Amino acid sequence: MLKLLKNLFLLAFCIAAYFWIRKESIVEHWLSAKLHTQVTVGRVSPRTSGMKIRYVCIHNPMPSERFPYAMEIEYVNLRFSLISMLLSKKIEISDPRVP
| Strands, sheet with 39-47, edge to edge from the N-terminal-most edge strand | 39-47, 50-59, 69-79, 92-94
Task: Indicate whether this model's pTM tops 0.85.
Answer: no
25: helix, coil or strand? helix
User: Where exactly are the structural domains of the chain?
Assistant: 23-94
Give the span between the Cα atoms of 56 and 64, in whole angstroms.
Answer: 18
Crossing angle for the helix pair 23-35 and 2-21, to the nearest 10 degrees:
50
pLDDT in tens, 60-91: 877 677 777 777 888 888 777 666 666 665 55
pLDDT in tens, 21-63: 788 888 888 888 888 888 888 888 877 777 888 888 888 877 6
**Number of C-beta neighbours around residue 53 at 10 A:** 22
One-letter amino acid at 27 equals V
